[in-house]
Structure 1
Amino acid sequence: MTTVETLRIVTLAERPDLETAMLEMEATWPEFIRPDPLVIAWALRRHAAHQLVVLAGAEVVARAATVPFCWDGDPASLPDTGWDEALRLSMLDTHDGRTPNTLCALEVAVVPGQRSRHLSGRTLAAVADNARRHGFRDVVVPVRPSGKHLEPHVPMTEYAARTRDDGLPSDPWLRVHVREGGQILGVCPVSMTIAGSLAQWRGWTGLPFDTSGPVTVPGALNPVEASVADDRAVYVEPNVWVRHRLVP
Structure 2
Amino acid sequence: MLSRLAPLARFQFAFVHVGPQGQEIIAGLGRSIPFYWPELETVSTAGWRPELLDSLPAQGYGAILTAGVQQSQGDGPAPNALSALSVTVQPAYRRTGLAELIIDTMKRAASLEGFSVLIAPLRPTQKNRFPDVPMEHYLHWMTESGLPFDPWLRKHVRLGGQVAKIATRSMVVSGTREEWKSWVGIDLHQEMQRAPDPGKMKTLPIRIPGGLVPVEYQPEDEMGVYVEPNIWIYYRL
Pairwise TM-score range, normalised by the shorter structure? 0.7 to 0.9
Deviation at 1:144? 0.2
Residue in 2 that maps onto 1:91:
69
The alignment status of 1:106 with 2:67, answered yes or no, reads: no
User: For each residue in 1:66-98, what CA deviation from the matched residue of structure 2 results, as whole angstroms up to 9, or x when unmatched?
Assistant: 111111231011001101111122133222332
Give the number of the structure whose alpha-carbon radius of gyration is greater.
2
1:238 to 222, 229, 232: 229
Pairwise mapping of residues 26-37 of structure 1 onto structure 2 (< 5 A)? Answer: none
1:227 aligns with 2:218: yes
Deviation of 1:163 after TM superposition, in Å, equals 1.7
Q: How many residue pairs were aligned?
A: 205
What amino acid sits opposite 2:26 in the alignment? V
Counterpart for residue 134 of structure 1: 113
1:77 corresponds in structure 2 to 55
Q: CA RMSD in A?
A: 1.3
Q: C-alpha separation between the residues in 1 aligned to 2:142 and 2:205?
A: 28
Q: TM-score, normalised by structure 1?
A: 0.79
Could you say what secondary structure the match of 1:161 adopts?
A: coil
Residue aligned with 2:133, SS: coil
Greater alpha carbon shift after TM alignment, 100-109 vs 67-76: 67-76
Deviation at 1:116, TM superposition (A): 2.7
1:203 to 182, 203, 217: 182
One of 133, 139, 142 as aligned partner of 1:154: 133
Percent of aligned positions that are identical: 35
Q: Please, which runs of 5 or more residues in structure 2 have no aligned partner?
A: 19-23, 41-51, 193-202
What residue number does 1:44 align with? 3
Cα pair 1:120 1:176 within 8 Å, conserved: no
Runs of 5+ consecutive residues of structure 1 not aligned to the other structure = 1-40
Please give the alpha-carbon distance, in whole angstroms, between the structure 2 residues aligned to 1:171 and 1:184: 13
Amino acid at match of 1:128: K
Cα shift at 1:143: 0.2
